[in-house]
Structure 1
Amino acid sequence: MTETPATRAAEFWEARYRDGGPLWSGRPNALLVREAGDLPPGSALDLGCGEGADAVWLASRGWRVTGVDISHTALERAGVHAAEAGVGDRTAWERHVLGESFPEGSFDLVNAQYLQSPIPLDQRRILRRAADAVAPGGTLLIVMHAGWPSWQTEPPFEAEFPTPMGVLDELALKAADWTVETLDTVRRASVSPEGEEGYRDDHVWRIRRTDT
């Protein structure tokens, strides 16, 4: 069987989750909290949900959430997190290798936080599918790293980082059907594994689909 980028990505992320303890803090991403905190609860799709922190936060605020990840182990941990938080009845978990398969249905919020990987998938196709999954009146929220941390003098692998307008161009959204509500670059503190203090920039896109 020929190994594809999708199978390599799946093997990479499954090994990262399986071969160690929790990868993430268990807290929701700060830019999700900032951008979705004022949205009325409805149905949400969390792409690349990892161990479930964003999905659990949304569910705790009344959303019905479908979390999607490439890793079986991540999804198992997400399910445990949701149950322990008392929101298991408002969460569902699906494994997809995004770019090859995608959840069915439409959602009032599609959350795509840091869909960036050392073994890249078809990001353009994934984001276009994400936009297609937004229900009328719903919101597409995308957050991505804008570059390496300031202390990262030797990048561990080659990577192409998005630009704000570049992602909008790739989405190719019709202006009559969408409103860009947030187009922002946010600088946050970042500390290296050795304790060196620095910063990292993230890009944020919050785009609302019109009601009709």
Structure 2
Amino acid sequence: MDSTQQFWEDFYRDKDQVWSGKANPLLVREVAELTPGAALDLGCGEGGDAIWLTQRGWRVTAVDISDVALKRAAGHAAEAGADGIVWERHDLAKSFPEGSFDLVSAQFFHSPVAVDGERDKALRHASEAVAPGGTLIVAGHAGWPTWLEEPPHKDFHFPTPAEVLETLALADGWTVELQEVVTRDFPGPEGQQGTRSDNVLRVRRSA
């Protein structure tokens, strides 16, 4: 087990539950009107997005680097009656799921331990996995919460939608459907008032 996988195994092992279990709101907003098909959920964590997609008729392959996260996600899916999700462990800098997908989703695809270029490589693989007529959605934080005075990773860079688009280096045959920064209320753990902004990019491959 290399240091990157070890980081994420420890990240999930340290708590019984890390995330809310709900689907990411930006994914819900962007996918709600799409016709279900085959979906790829990158960095699936504890499975909230994969379960939500499955319950709405998508055939989901869900990927994470952490065995702990994948086992926990599979358990949550069983409890929710979300059958048929394919769970795969991948370090996306080294391997990638096979096949093509009508939807590829990378939600909050950040890592404080990623080596330079690894995220870019994984996102380019993500675009290559989109089937004709399919959609790629990349959502991520635009910065730290406004109430956070001392960020845990001061030099961490949050890519803008334009930077993500440049990273993807899409050839002809793609349409940029959305580039947006969304700001929402985001109170701190001690009730601090504040906001946090997120980026979302949605692109579609020509049929």
Q: TM-score range by the shorter chain?
A: over 0.9
What is the CA–CA distance in structure 1 between the aligned matches of 2:185 and 2:4, rounded to whole Å? Answer: 28
What is the CA–CA distance in structure 2 between the aligned matches of 1:107 and 1:203, rounded to whole Å? Answer: 23
Percent sequence identity is 56
Match of 2:109? Answer: 115
1:95 aligns with 2:89: yes
Please give the per-residue CA displacement for 1:13-35, whole angstroms capped at 9, x wherever unaligned.
10011122100001000000000
Match of 2:163? Answer: 166
Please, which of 18, 35, 40 is the counterpart of residue 40 of structure 1?
A: 35
1:40-59 equivalences under 5 Å are 40-59=35-54
Match of 1:14? Answer: 9
**8 A contact 1:68–1:95 mirrored in 2:** yes
Please, which of 186, 198, 202 is the counterpart of residue 182 of structure 2?
A: 186
1:82 aligns with 2:77: yes
Say which SS state the counterpart of residue 44 (structure 2) adopts. Answer: coil
TM-score normalized by structure 2?
0.95
**8 A contact 1:79–1:88 mirrored in 2:** no
Where structure 2 has 5 or more consecutive residues not aligned to the other structure, the ranges are: none
1:133 aligns with 2:137: no
What is the CA–CA distance in structure 2 between the aligned matches of 1:191 and 1:12, rounded to whole Å? Answer: 27
Instruction: Select between 38-47 and 194-203 the one with higher mean Cα deviation.
Output: 194-203
Match of 1:151? Answer: 147
Alignment-mate amino acid for residue 192 of structure 2: E
What is the CA–CA distance in structure 2 between the aligned matches of 1:86 and 1:193, rounded to whole Å? Answer: 32
Alignment-mate amino acid for residue 92 of structure 1: V
RMSD, aligned α-carbons: 1.2
Please give the per-residue CA displacement for 1:64-115, whole angstroms capped at 9, x wherever unaligned.
00000011011011111111111222x1100011111111111000000011
Please, which of 50, 59, 65 is the counterpart of residue 60 of structure 2?
A: 65
Where structure 1 has 5 or more consecutive residues not aligned to the other structure, the ranges are: none
Cα shift at 1:193 = 2.1
Instruction: Could you list the structure 1 runs, at least 4 aligned residues long, displaced by more than 6 angstroms after superposition.
Output: none
Please, which of 188, 196, 200 is the counterpart of residue 200 of structure 1?
A: 196
What is the CA–CA distance in structure 2 between the aligned matches of 1:180 and 1:49, rounded to whole Å? Answer: 24
Say which SS state the counterpart of residue 197 (structure 1) adopts. Answer: coil
What is the CA–CA distance in structure 1 between the aligned matches of 2:45 and 2:162, rounded to whole Å? Answer: 27
Aligned residue pairs: how many? 204
Instruction: Select between 13-22 and 35-44 the one with higher mean Cα deviation.
Output: 13-22
